[in-house]
Structure 1
Amino acid sequence: MANWCSNTVEFIGEHSQFEELGRLFKAMATKEKKERRGQLPPFAEVDSGYLFEIRWEGGVLYYETKWSPNTEVIVAIADHFKIGFRYNYSEPGNCVFGEAAYRDGTLTDVALDWDDIAAYDFDEDTDTYRFENQNYDSSEEILEKLLERKKAIRKLQGLNNG
């Protein structure tokens, strides 16, 4: 059985494009429920990265994928509609936690790796996560801090290299 990766995509574009996106995702969600299997947009030229539990709410797409994000599919959707996006994904059990952005044909993706995840521990005695001498009830806040730090480092490296 697959571990499920949670995905949230906020598209960036014109209002009329959001209406078309909404129709696409609502049709995919209906088809998913009817067929009881993951979906891909009809124009996608890939045969993996199926979307499950598709929800389109307030211009934001929420869905699940098996094991890892399906960035290639989201890029195909953005290219089809000539829009950009901001994309968050998470499946901490497999060390998958990151954020991608796509604008004007350029994809940036910053993700945590096993070294990042090793920065904190789970304390079974207190049922909390320990990070930098503090306890947390959930790993989510720690993962977000680690990702923000990694993005800041990448930004500095980009400034220093350019």
Structure 2
Amino acid sequence: MANWCNNTVVFVGSTEAIQQITTLFNTIAEMGQKPENQKLPDFLADTDEHFFYYISHNADGKIEYETKWTPNIEAVLQIAQLYKVDFVLDYQEVGNCIFGRATYSKGIFNNIYLDPHDFGWF
């Protein structure tokens, strides 16, 4: 049984792009809890190990979801690049002490994280 990684992402871009991303996440949520690659867009077909589970939205534009074990940063980056938007992704998997923030802004990707090794220093 996998540990669940909690993810919160906010995409920043044109209204049209954000609406398209919202539609994408709604489609994935409707698929249920099993990844069915034939229903995912081609650019996400190789992300089944880090599929988006338990997706929810709020009025502030935050999308919250879970992944197995680790965040699916590559999938979020692929979405941002396709729709030409920026993002901030916060993630945490408490059981394995994984915490971080990935950002993509103006074509520059950063990922700042702590893992179990980092906690050994304290």
TM superposition score category, shorter chain reference: 0.7 to 0.9
Stretches of 4+ aligned residues off by more than 6 angstroms: none
The partner residue of 2:102 within 93, 100, 103 is 100
Q: Paired residue for 1:63?
A: 65
- C-alpha deviations, 1:114-148, integer Å up to 9, x for none? 2432356xxxxxxxxxxxxxxxxxxxxxxxxxxxx
> Higher RCO, 1 or 2 (CA under 8 Å, sep at least 6)?
2
- In the alignment, structure 1 segments of 5+ residues that lack a partner are 121-162
Q: Percent identity?
A: 36
Distance (Å, rounded) in 2 between the aligned partners of 1:91 and 1:68: 7
- In the alignment, structure 2 segments of 5+ residues that lack a partner are none
What TM-score, normalized to structure 1?
0.65
Q: What is the DSSP-based 3-state SS (H/G/I as helix, E as strand, rest coil) of the residue aligned with 1:5? A: strand
Higher mean C-alpha displacement, 50-59 vs 37-46: 37-46
How many residues get paired?
A: 117
Could you say which structure has the larger radius of gyration?
1
Structure 1 contact 9–85 (Cα < 8 Å) conserved: yes
- Shift in Å, 1:17: 1.4
Distance (Å, rounded) in 2 between the aligned partners of 1:28 and 1:97: 25
Q: CA RMSD in A?
A: 1.8
Q: What is the DSSP-based 3-state SS (H/G/I as helix, E as strand, rest coil) of the residue aligned with 1:72? A: helix
What TM-score, normalized to structure 2?
0.85
